Amino acid sequence: MVINLEIFKAYDIRGVYPEEINEEIVYKIAQAYTKFLNFPTKVALGRDVRLSSPKLWEAAANGLVDAGVDVIDIGCGSTDMYYFAVANYGLDGGLMITASHNTREYNGMKMVREKAIPISGDTGINDIKGLVLSDFSHKADNKGTIEKIDLFDGYIKKMASFIDSKKIKSFKIVANANFGMAGNVINSLKKSIPMEIVELNFKPDGNFPKGKPDPLISENRKEMELRVVQESADFGVTWDADADRCFFVDSNGRFIEGSYISSILAKIMLDKKNGGKIISDPRIRRPIQAVANENNGDLIFCKSGHSFIKEKMRQVDAVYAGENSGHYFFKDYFYCDNGMIPFLLMLEYLSANPNTNLSQLNDHYKSRFPVSGEINVSVAQSVQEIIDKLKEKYQDGKEDDIDGLSIEYPDWRFNVRSSNTEPVIRINIEADSNELLGQKKQELLSTI
């Protein structure tokens, strides 16, 4: 069997089904996972809505059971639910069959150890890859068992525990589940939390009939943005297919940058906890730095990527962390990211502040902290060549290399970094004014 090593990514395993990832490969990965964790006792196994997920789930289950591991079958769910299963039930680890927001022909695996601590490239995926390539196999004398559990109600209770549902005002919300698992969760939450939901793409469908289920692609938000205006809704919210990322649009149908949402969530959590440590990736700094300064927060910057952020959160005991890509992490959710908690916190915040709406908040952040949004550029030369060129051109600025290259001046700053998942570089720029932002954007792009 020939294995395409490109399926072993920085944060997970992902490839086209069945050419790059199939039942045979998933079985081998599951077997290698048991060896890497020194043959755990009980492991959660979940899957997303993709059409190939049931077959790959079965292959993974066989790999675990043959190695003597008991499988806790959590069924079809979101990535958030899989974290909940491992951490809440005190399991030794977990596997999730998912390709997140990739197009329908893809599938893959996410892996965690106990407490839902992620296994990424440098904390285990490379070791597991080595075991797979060495054709590792283990057939235990006593096979493991498979036990199906229904964790949905427990998960919903955990979500609701983040807010005081009695204080929630009913808002009209356009919600886009992108044919993933978020729709089922919303339908359950609205039984106990007041909300008027205009449903978009709520029925799970692994064909993803409207294309790649990734709300970061602006084309994919247009349906929701238009519907928010047509319905005179208070705001719109959307999730990717595995429902671990969350994005908002205001009542005017305008997308709200992830850096602004992260800053609002940081303020909410600092208010709830009476201050504390918060973490952000360094792509955009100014909005969340201001929130930290004004709300008794101690802001720490960390390289982007969920494994880095979760590790740093545990190290410093941070109450909250945000990535500008739509991942938001909470100490009270096992230091994990969650796509539903931000939505609920936003409901609670807007209910407690009836004179404030998301359009006003969006205007406030746009005027005070102009940002470019993430610009993706395909480049012929190496990322290091580009970084060296930028270091030379902007050598009089304040430089840091927490994640890629950041250079800061009193009135503007930028961050350039390579992508862990695509052959592009990602550029983020922020400035004191939109005029300066536009100038620096042109200057940077022409330099690159």
pLDDT of residue 334: 99
**pLDDT class of 380 with cuts at 50, 70, 90:** confident
**Range with the poorest average pLDDT among 144-148, 214-218, 229-233:** 214-218
**pLDDT class of 180 with cuts at 50, 70, 90:** very high
3-state secondary structure of 314: helix
Per-residue pLDDT at 336 exceeds 70: yes
Multiple choice CATH, 5-149, 3.20.20.70, 3.40.120.10, 3.10.20.30, 3.40.50.10680: 3.40.120.10
CA angle 249, 430, 219 (to 5 degrees): 35
Per-residue pLDDT at 277 exceeds 90: yes
What average pLDDT does the segment 13-20 reach? Answer: 98
What average pLDDT does the segment 421-447 reach? Answer: 94
Question: What residue has token string 């009913």?
Answer: 170
**pLDDT class of 185 with cuts at 50, 70, 90:** very high
pLDDT of residue 251: 99
What average pLDDT does the segment 96-123 reach? Answer: 97
What average pLDDT does the segment 322-338 reach? Answer: 98
pLDDT of residue 23: 99
Strand order in the sheet with 276-280: 297-301, 276-280, 320-322, 328-330, 336-337
Per-residue pLDDT at 434 exceeds 70: yes
Per-residue pLDDT at 205 exceeds 90: yes
pLDDT of residue 421: 66
Per-residue pLDDT at 17 exceeds 80: yes
**Which architecture, in CATH terms, is 154-162+169-249?**
3-Layer(aba) Sandwich (3.40)
* Residues of each domain in the chain carrying CATH 3.30.310.50: 375-447
* Residues of each domain in the chain carrying CATH 3.40.120.10: 5-149, 154-162+169-249, 258-338
Encoded tokens for 360: 């006003």
Topology of domain 375-447, CATH:
TATA-Binding Protein (3.30.310)
* One-character DSSP codes across 373-442: --EEE--SS-HHHHHHHHHHHTTTSEEE-SSSEEEE-SSEEEEEEE-SSSSSEEEEEEESSHHHHHHHHH
Per-residue pLDDT at 161 exceeds 80: yes
pLDDT of residue 419: 82
Q: Distance between alpha carbon 358 and the CA centroid of its chain, in Å?
A: 22
Multiple choice CATH, 258-338, 3.40.50.2300, 3.40.120.10, 3.30.300.90, 3.30.1600.10: 3.40.120.10
What average pLDDT does the segment 278-287 reach? Answer: 98
Number of Cβ within a 10 Å radius of residue 403: 20
Per-residue pLDDT at 422 exceeds 80: no
Percent of the chain with pLDDT over 70: 100
3-state secondary structure of 322: strand
- Tens of pLDDT, residues 354-374: 999 999 999 999 999 999 999
Question: Are the beta carbons of 43 and 116 closer than 8 angstroms?
Answer: no
- The pTM of this model reads 0.97
- Tens of pLDDT, residues 22-72: 999 999 999 999 999 999 999 999 999 999 999 999 999 999 999 999 999
> Which amino acids are annotated catalytic?
100
Mean pLDDT score across all residues of the chain: 97
Q: Distance between alpha carbon 332 and the CA centroid of its chain, in Å?
A: 17
**pLDDT class of 216 with cuts at 50, 70, 90:** very high
